[in-house]
Amino acid sequence: MSSLISRSTVLVGVAIASLLAATRARAQGDEHAVVAVVSGATSVPVVGPTSLGAPPLAASSPSPSARAQHLRGYTYGPVTEVDYIHVEYGHFNEYMAWVTSTWMPTMEAARKAGLIIDYKVFQSSPKSPDQPNVYLEITYKNMAAYAGDIGDHADEFEAVTEKVICNSACQDQARVHRNEIRRVLGTEVTREIISR
109 and 153 part of one domain: yes
71, amino acid identity = L
56 and 103 part of one domain: no
- pLDDT tens series, the chain, 196 aa: 544 445 444 444 544 555 455 445 444 544 444 334 434 444 444 444 444 454 544 445 566 666 665 678 899 999 999 999 999 999 999 999 999 988 999 899 989 988 899 999 999 999 988 899 999 999 998 887 876 655 555 677 777 777 777 666 666 666 777 888 999 999 999 999 998 8
79 and 68 part of one domain: no
Nearest alpha-carbon partner for 103 in 147, 142, 141, 160: 160
**Domain end position, chosen among 49, 72, 95:** 72
Which domain does 179 fall in, by range?
75-195
Q: What is the pLDDT of residue 146?
A: 78
64 and 87 part of one domain: no
* Distances, alpha carbon 43 to alpha carbons 13, 23, 32, 56, in Å: 10, 16, 17, 11
